[in-house]
C-alpha cells in the first residue's frame, strides 16, 4: 500500500470521527433543548425528594450529563472544523479568510432567520459571531491557541471565590465575582438590540463560549486525532467524564459546593470526556456503536434546523418565534416527550443515511457550501466511491 493511500485512509478516519462527534453533540443539544421544544417549563429539582424515579428525574439526569456541556462540545468540534477548512484552503492555494468569512456570514444569516421565525433557542447566531472572531486566531499553532482559550475562559467567567468564605459559611452572591462586567449596554450592541431585544445576549454568550472554540482548534493543532494510544484515550475520557459529572452534580445539589465556582470547568470536563471516549470507540472494535452518528453528523445543520422546525410547530409553547403561532398540541409530560424525541432522532439517522447514499451533502449544507466557495458543487452522488476521501468541510 502506497504512502498516499495510507495518508488518505488516516485522513478519512479523522473526518469520520469528527462526523461521529458532531452527530453525538447534536444529540446532546437536542436532549437538552427537548424540554423547551416540547413547551415544558420544568423546575430543576435535582433529587430533592425522598422518592426517586428514573422516569420522573430523566430531565435532571439529562441536564447533569449534557446541560451546559452540549454547547461546549459542539463549539469544540466547530473550532476543529475551522482549522481543517483553513488548512484545506491553504493547500488549494485559496484565501482562507475570505472563505471562512463568507461561511460565517451565511451562518449568521441562517441563525438570525432561525431565531426570528423558527425557534428562539438558536445557537447558530452565537456560533457565527465566534467564528468571525476566530479568524484572528485560526493561523496560530497549538500553544498560543490554548493560552488564548484560557484567557477567554477566565475573562468571561466568574473568578474563584476565596476558600475562607466557604470555611466560615458566609453566603455570597457569586455574580459579584465576575472579572468582566455585563456588556449588554455597550454601544456596539445597539444594532443587535434594534433587530431583536435578546440578540445582545447572543453576543455575551459568544464571548463566554469563545474559549471552547479555541480549545478545539488547539487540540487539533496539537494532534489529538493523531494520538496513537487508543486505550489511553478511553481511560482519560472516562476520568474527565467522571470528574465533570461529579462536579456538576455537586454544584446543582449542594449550595456549599458553590465556593469552587468552577462551573465552566466541570461542564468542559464532561465535553472533553465524551470527545476522548468517542475517539477511542471510533478506532476500536466497538466502532459500530458510534458509526451511526457519522450519518447525522454530516448533515448536522440540516438536522438541527429540522428538530426545531418540527417540534416548534407542533407543541404549544415550544417556540416563541413566529413558527410557534401554528402549534396545536399542548405540552405533554417529559416522560412521554423523551421517547418521542429519541425515536425522532433515530429516524433522522436513518433518513440521513438514506439521503447520503444519493447525495453528497445535506440540503442546507449544500447551500452553505455553495455560498462559502461561491461555486455550485454537484449535489447528486453519481456513483459510490468506497475509497474516496471526503473534503473536510462536507
pLDDT digits (tens, 9 = 90+) for 7-65: 444 445 557 888 999 999 999 999 999 999 999 875 544 444 444 566 667 888 888 89
Residue that has been written with the C-alpha cell 502506497 in this structure? 2
Q: What is the structure's pLDDT at 182?
A: 47
Residue 202: per-residue pLDDT: 57
pLDDT in tens, 162-203: 444 444 444 444 444 444 444 444 444 455 544 555 555 556
- The answer to whether the beta carbons of residues 170 and 250 sit under 8 Å apart is no
Pull the grid cell for residue 124.
Answer: 447558530
Cα distance from N-terminal residue to C-terminal residue, the chain:
26
The grid cell for 373 is 466557495
Long-range residue pairs from 255-262, CB within 8 A, at least 24 positions apart, any chain: 256/166, 258/161, 258/174, 259/161, 259/163, 259/165, 259/166, 260/160, 260/161, 261/158, 261/159, 261/160, 261/161, 261/174, 261/177, 262/160
How far apart are alpha carbons 87 and 66 in whole angstroms? 31
Tell me what pLDDT residue 53 has: 60
Q: Rounded to whole angstroms, how far apart are CA atoms 122 and 120?
A: 5
Q: Which residues contact 370 (CB under 8 A, 6 or more apart)?
A: 376, 377
| Percent of the chain residues past pLDDT 90, beyond the cut | 48
- Of 333, 306, 86, 336, the residue nearest 216 (C-alpha): 86
With a CB cutoff of 8 Å and minimum separation 6, the contacts of 154 are 179
Inter-residue contact 236 to 163 (CB < 8 Å): no
CA distance 303 to 138: 27
What's the rounded Cα separation, in Å, for the pair 262 and 259?
8
pLDDT of residue 393: 47
Burial class (CB in 10 A: 0-12, 13-18, 19+), 292: middle
Alpha carbon distance 105, 119 (integer Å):
19
Domain ranges of the chain: 1-67+291-394, 71-226
Q: Are 291 and 20 in contact (CB under 8 A)?
A: yes
With a cut of 50, list the residues of the chain below it in pLDDT: 1-11, 44-51, 159-189, 193-194, 259, 383-394
Burial of 316 (0-12, 13-18, 19+ CB in 10 A): middle
The owner of cell 486505550 is 231
Amino acid at each position: 500500500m502506497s504512502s498516499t493511500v495510507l495518508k488518505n485512509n488516516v485522513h478519512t478516519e479523522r473526518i469520520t470521527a469528527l462526523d461521529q462527534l458532531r452527530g453525538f453533540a447534536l444529540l446532546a443539544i437536542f436532549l437538552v433543548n427537548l424540554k423547551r421544544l416540547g413547551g415544558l417549563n420544568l423546575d430543576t429539582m435535582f433529587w430533592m425528594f425522598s422518592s426517586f424515579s428514573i422516569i420522573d428525574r430523566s430531565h435532571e439526569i439529562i441536564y447533569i450529563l449534557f446541560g451546559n456541556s452540549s454547547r461546549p462540545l459542539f463549539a469544540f468540534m466547530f473550532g476543529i472544523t475551522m482549522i481543517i477548512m483553513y488548512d484545506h484552503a491553504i493547500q488549494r492555494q485559496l484565501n482562507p479568510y475570505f472563505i471562512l468569512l463568507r461561511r460565517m456570514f451565511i451562518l449568521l444569516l441562517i441563525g438570525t432567520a432561525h431565531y426570528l421565525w423558527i425557534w428562539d433557542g438558536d445557537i447558530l447566531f452565537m456560533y457565527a459571531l465566534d467564528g468571525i472572531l476566530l479568524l484572528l486566531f485560526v493561523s496560530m499553532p497549538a500553544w498560543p491557541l490554548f493560552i488564548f482559550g484560557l484567557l477567554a475562559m477566565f475573562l468571561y467567567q466568574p473568578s474563584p471565590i476565596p476558600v475562607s468564605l466557604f470555611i466560615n459559611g458566609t453566603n455570597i452572591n457569586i455574580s459579584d465575582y465576575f472579572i468582566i462586567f455585563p456588556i449588554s449596554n455597550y454601544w456596539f450592541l445597539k444594532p443587535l438590540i434594534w433587530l431583536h431585544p435578546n440578540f445582545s445576549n447572543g453576543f455575551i454568550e459568544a464571548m463566554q463560549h469563545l474559549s471552547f472554540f479555541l480549545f478545539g482548534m488547539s487540540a487539533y493543532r496539537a494532534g489529538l486525532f493523531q494520538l496513537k494510544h487508543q486505550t489511553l484515550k478511553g481511560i482519560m475520557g472516562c476520568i474527565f467524564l467522571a470528574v465533570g459529572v461529579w462536579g456538576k452534580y455537586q454544584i446543582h445539589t449542594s449550595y456549599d459546593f458553590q465556593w469552587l465556582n468552577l462551573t465552566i470547568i466541570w461542564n468542559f470536563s464532561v465535553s472533553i470526556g465524551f470527545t476522548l471516549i468517542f475517539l477511542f470507540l471510533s478506532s476500536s472494535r466497538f466502532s459500530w456503536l458510534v458509526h451511526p452518528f457519522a450519518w447525522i453528523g454530516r448533515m448536522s445543520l440540516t438536522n438541527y434546523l429540522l428538530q426545531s422546525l418540527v417540534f416548534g410547530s407542533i407543541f404549544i409553547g415550544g417556540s416563541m418565534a413566529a413558527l410557534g403561532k401554528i402549534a396545536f398540541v399542548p405540552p405533554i409530560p417529559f416522560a412521554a416527550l423523551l421517547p418521542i424525541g429519541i425515536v425522532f432522532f433515530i429516524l433522522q439517522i436513518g433518513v440521513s443515511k438514506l439521503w447520503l447514499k444519493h447525495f453528497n451533502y445535506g440540503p442546507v449544507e449544500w447551500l452553505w457550501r455553495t455560498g462559502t466557495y461561491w461555486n455550485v458543487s454537484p449535489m447528486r452522488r453519481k456513483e459510490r466511491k468506497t475509497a474516496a476521501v471526503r473534503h473536510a468541510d462536507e
